[in-house]
Amino acid sequence: MRDRGWNDARLHVVTGKGGTGKTTIAAALALALAASGRTVLLTEVEERQGIAQVFDCAPLPYAERRVAVAPDGGDVYALAIDAEAALLDYLEMFYGLRRAGAALTRFGVVDFATTVAPGTRDVLLTGKVTEAVRRRQGEERGRTPRDATRRAPFVYDAVVLDAPPTGRIAQFLNVNTEVAGLARMGPVHHHADRVMEVIRSAQTAVHVVTTLEDMPVQECLDGVEQITDVNIPVGSILVNMRRPRFLNETDQRAAAEGRVDTEALARGLKAAGLEQAEQTAQELVPELLAHAHTVAAEQGLRERLEAAQRPTFDLPLLEGPIDLAGLYHLANVLRTQGAV
Amino acid sequence: MTVQKLHQEAPPLNVDALLDDTQTRIVVCCGSGGVGKTTTAAALALRAAERGRTAVVITVDPARRLAQSLGLDELDNTPRQIDLGPRDSGRGTLHAMMLDMKRTFDEVVRAHADPERAEQILANPFYQSLSTSFSGTQEYMAMEKLGQLRASEEWDLIVVDTPPSRSALDFLDAPNRLGRFLDGRLIRMLGGTGGRSYLRMLGSGFGLITTVINRVIGAQLLSDVRTFVSAFDAVFGGFQDRARHTYELLKAPGTEFLVVAAPESDALREASYFVERLAAEGMPLAGLVLNKTHGHGAAPTPARLSAARSDAAAETLEDLGEHTLAAAALRLHARRMDTQAAEARERSSFVAAHPTTPVVEVPAQPDAVADLTGLRRVGHDLGSGSGAEST
């Protein structure tokens, strides 16, 4: 296998500016990773039920459910992590504080820990994700494994996280620093250390989704820089919603400069048997000019992305709402380009 | 296609009438991320100013692009006047600012506490985290700033761009949540301001709670919270009252909400939630700005040439292996028609669910909006542009 810089990654974090389609790409990446009989967990942390929408299934509970089968037999499981459930899960896992939930909720402790206490929320969310990354077969969730199970295979070959947008991603992943100022010791601090062990290691790759538009490209470049600054490994740049290019190189260059051979166009339309060829040709010119203009602008943005020096993969724009067939198609595109 | 048959028309949203009405004092732009909310807010404020209003726009987007498009190097927490070019009669003024949530929070503290106590609060580690990273602080401070600007009476129109929240609804809920927390019994208990009888009332539950808090967040943080609360409590009688007050401001006459969305399913789903939520809260919705559409706008389209005919003609030429330019133009046109049909479908679903919500369409801009000219173009499309006659 060729070295992409993240061959060892088992945690794939997918981020991007809002509106670039990161949930769709995260789902396609999970499907691609699950090919050849592997088992992948797809997670979300923003309580938007985005995965359920993408896979067109009922809202996901706080439980790992199988949502899709890869073309040649792999499994994609999904989990919608909410901070409140993760907190109760965590208390039970580490302290055996079962049934404390009601009392905690009544006194506002859950509210406090999941929404107000700074950083705690993110530690709970990333904590649950990294727990799934570390989990091995035959081991009770979260318990320290005995020696016999230590080398057992991982439950999940890979975990994909549909993460918060680029603007928040460095802060979200770098939980250690976020809580360090507050909890200099104690359980949250310790928990954050364990999270960072996974996130800083070669087991993690952060992929940034962008479209070839001005603002998303800028945010993508800023995001790559911020993630690199906090020593978290950046994976690839995934350029989503690539529009097809219709013109050949010569016609593209001319049209980008505002020149379209209207007579040649009209002759072509006539040859195709269309009526009113001249008038239609006139009307099609603005569309061609606008298209060539966009393509030229996209080329410029593509060059700006090269500054990040990360492997870049293209994903086509799919017409209409994303359905399962579309997801499989995108997964296949990722695989054939060697992104996974 | 049956799409057109089902097409139901929404009432047109008359943005110019909204901006020209001196009764309109606050316009709040909301919607999910990536739909062009910040640009829309800036374009609205600019248009209002050029139509005679004394306008200010509050943005929360730290991207410098907006500042640059307004002709400034950067924006900060104080409204800066924007140079709109040579004066012309009938024109108002435009100011712009970018919300700095920590600075706004600090100002609130300084305004309400004596200097010594203010320093004590500002230096507290818990306060420092709360003022920079609590997920609701930005929303709360946006509302705080809005309240301040409104009270100053320096502007007769304030346009607000809302923070990119986890969900659009966070912007309504977060201020209340922060207020509830700061006034809540947990923080009183932690701060020890509830008195002994209160603790007794909690009974055996109390031990469990402190155990959990100690285990989860650690004793040192707990003591920071205690110090913070006792200092804070003396200064602010009721944070929740404050939150409620700004919330009331949003319901007051003179406030109008604009929901911004792109013509695709995710953004319109969020827009639907927002429209329903505003109705439930009794907040005034002016309408939907359907941004970045491809249906109407600069390039006239030979609409009578359907996607199917266009594709078939392209196929004929491709089979002939000739006329590559015409074949490309036909394929391009077919995809453009597909896009229009898909957008019309999304728009129809929204309109069917919210038939009384006025809608204005703003075509996708050929270039990134990078200067006042670009913002004016967006403003023109919002106002007199394609909206009213987009049938």
- Whether chain B has a CB inside 8 Å of the CB on A101: the answer is no
CB-CB contact of A219 with A236 (8 Å): no
Of B205 and B348, more confident: B348
Q: In what order do the strands lie in the sheet with A234-242?
A: A65-69, A75-80, A39-44, A158-162, A11-16, A204-210, A234-242, A312-316
For the segment B181-210, the average pLDDT, to the nearest whole number, is: 56
**Distance between CA atoms of B276 and B279, rounded to whole angstroms?**
5
Q: Where are the domains of chain B?
A: 7-183+238-298+357-384
Of residues A126 and B248, which shows the higher confidence score?
A126
Residue type, B5: K
**Which tens digits make up the pLDDT trace of B281-294?**
888 999 999 999 98
pLDDT at A141: 54
As a whole number of angstroms, the distance between CA A154 and CA A250 comes to: 53
pLDDT band at B199; cut points 50, 70, 90 = very low
Confidence (pLDDT) at A81: 95
Provide the strand spans (E) within A98-225: 158-162, 204-210
Q: What is the average per-residue pLDDT within B178-194?
A: 61
Rounded distance, CA B250 to CA B285, Å? 11
Residue B5: other Cβ atoms inside 10 A: 6
What's the pLDDT tens digit per position in B321-348?
Answer: 999 999 999 999 999 898 888 899 999 9
* Interchain proximity B217–A120, CB inside 8 Å: yes
DSSP code, position A154: B
Q: A-contacting residues of B 6-65, CB under 8 Å?
A: 32-35, 62-63, 65
User: What was the pLDDT predicted at B187?
Assistant: 64
Strand segments (E) across chain B: 26-30, 54-59, 80-81, 93-98, 157-161, 255-261, 285-293, 359-363
- From the candidates A182, A217, A249, A294, which should be mutated to test the interface with B, based on the most B CB atoms within 10 A? A182
Residue of A nearest to B369 (CA): A214
Give the pLDDT band (50/70/90) at residue B302.
Answer: low
A283/B302 Cβ within 8 A: yes
CA–CA gap between residue B269 and residue B346 (Å, rounded): 10
What angle, 0 to 180 degrees and rounded to 10, lies between the N-to-C axes of helices B307-320 and A262-271? 90
The percentage of chain B sitting over the pLDDT mark of 70, rounded to a whole number, equals: 74
Pick among B217, B337, B340 to test the A interface (most A CBs inside 10 A) = B217
Q: What is the reported pLDDT for B86?
A: 80
- For B129-139, b/e burial (b = at least 16 CB within 10 A) is bbbbbbbbbbb
CATH 3.40.50.150 corresponds to the domain B7-183+238-298+357-384: no
Point out the residue among A97, A186, A264 whose CB comes nearest to the CB of B325. A264
Q: Which residues contact B112 (CB under 8 A, 6 or more apart)?
A: B235, B236
Check if the beta carbon of residue A318 is closer than 8 Å to that of residue A330: yes
Span A254-267, pLDDT tens digits: 999 999 999 999 99
Question: For residue B100, is pLDDT > 60?
Answer: yes
- Which element (helix H / strand E) includes A41? strand A39-44
Say what the ipTM of the complex is.
0.84
CA B350 – CA B333 distance, rounded (Å): 26
Question: In the predicted model, is pLDDT for residue A64 greater than 90?
Answer: yes
Would you call A300 an interface residue with chain B, using a CB distance cutoff of 8 Å? no
pLDDT band at B121 (very low <50, low <70, confident <90, very high): confident
Out of A221-225, B74-78, B208-212, pick the least confident: B208-212
pLDDT in tens, A193-250: 889 999 999 999 999 999 999 889 999 999 999 999 999 999 999 999 998 999 999 9
Binning pLDDT at 50, 70 and 90, where does residue B390 land?
Answer: very low
